Amino acid sequence: MHSKSQPAEVPLNDTDVLLSTTDMDSRITYANSDFCRIAGFSTEDMYGQPHNLVRHPDMPAQAFANMWQTIRAGQSWMGPVKNRCRNGDYYWVNAFVTPIRDSSGNICEYQSVRTKPDPEVIKRAEQTYQQLSNHQDKPQLSEHADSLPQFRLGLILLAGLSFLSVFYSELSLYVNLVVCLLAVVMLGVFIRWSARLQALTEKSRRIFDNPLMSFLYSGHRDSLAAINLALEMQQAQLKAVVGRVNDASLNVCENSASSLQCSDKVSLHLQRQIGEVSQVVAAMEQLSQTIGEISGNVNGAAEVANESEASTFFGKGNVEATIQNIQSLNRHLQLADQQVAGMSKSVADISQALQVIEGIAEQTNLL
């Protein structure tokens, strides 16, 4: 049997920016290419899935509870996070999570920007998270340890010892007075400096107040650690803004390239359509010429038809006149026939009369 290989850490580059957004139910709505590449998931695999898809079991519940409490209150959260890859490997990130508001001011989604963390931060986080997972939530990891009161007390003791040393020293009075004056001046300077440090510490904690993260990012629990945490928070916020802008720029470039390809395709189709339209125009011109020829032929036919109609009308008049003439001739022929018949009768009568006369003549000759 082959033993299963141990999960390996996937290192991040200095330029890697893992960006994702989730809805109010912590379901992934966007994941950039760096996030998908490091985690080993595709965009389709991540879309709509709960964000704990990449949660590593070594991460204590207390850390995420603090994160959700912070971002649901409308504030940003920052901390080192160990995430799980699809194949079981893991990677450490410096996570900056911030709520995104809509135009009405209501929280509509959460944005997480992750960058490469410092190795010392990872080392402290591994130890601390293991303690939290083992329910060893020590007070020093959840409470502030303000160093200013101890610092002020030390200054007062130092000043007191300075005064005592003056009175019990064998130095001249002039030197003792100078030492006392310097001690008073230093005490005043340090008191004023501590007041300014206290104000700066309070301002830093208004930016991000998290004792646990203050310890993880600095290794200390004093006021300077709180100031350091605020600076880390501001730097993470700046990286988040730059990362989001760069990611949006990449998307714009990709969309521009896609739009350019679409424009090229549209231009090609337009050129094809222009060629087809040119062919149609040429065909229309030929059709127009054909229609012109047909129109000329139709006009010629119309003229011939008009001439034929005129000739027909004229011929009709001639035919009618001929018919009338024939009818008139027929009447004359009938009249002539009647006259011939009358003449035939007259000739017959004359013939009979001649026969009578001839008979009379013959009889006369006989006489």
Q: Are 54 and 89 in contact (CB under 8 A)?
A: no
Q: Which two tokens stand for residue 366?
A: 């006989």
User: Helix, strand or coil for residue 254?
Assistant: helix
Render 85-154 in DSSP notation, one character per residue. Answer: -TTS-EEEEEEEEEEEE-TTS-EEEEEEEEEPPPHHHHHHHHHHHHHHHTT---GGGTS----HHHHHHH
* pLDDT mean over 89-94: 97
Over residues 198-208, mean pLDDT = 84
Place of tokens 């959260």: 77
Stronger pLDDT, 335 or 223, i.e. the higher one? 223
For the packed helices 223-366 and 211-218, what is the interaxial angle rounded to 10 degrees? 100
- Residue pair 93/81 in contact (Cβ under 8 Å)? The answer is yes
Lowest mean pLDDT among 38-52, 160-174, 208-222: 160-174
> pLDDT of 22-72, one tens digit each?
999 999 999 999 999 999 999 999 999 999 999 999 999 888 888 999 999
**What is residue 179's three-state secondary structure?**
helix
Does residue 246 come out as left (phi exceeding 0), alpha (psi in the -120 to 50 range) or beta? alpha
pTM of structure? 0.61
Res 90 pLDDT > 50: yes
- The predicted pLDDT at position 322 comes to 73
Closest CA to 112 of 244, 252, 259, 13: 244
Q: How many CB atoms are closer than 10 A to CB 22?
A: 20
Q: How far is 82 from 91, CA to CA, in rounded Å?
A: 6
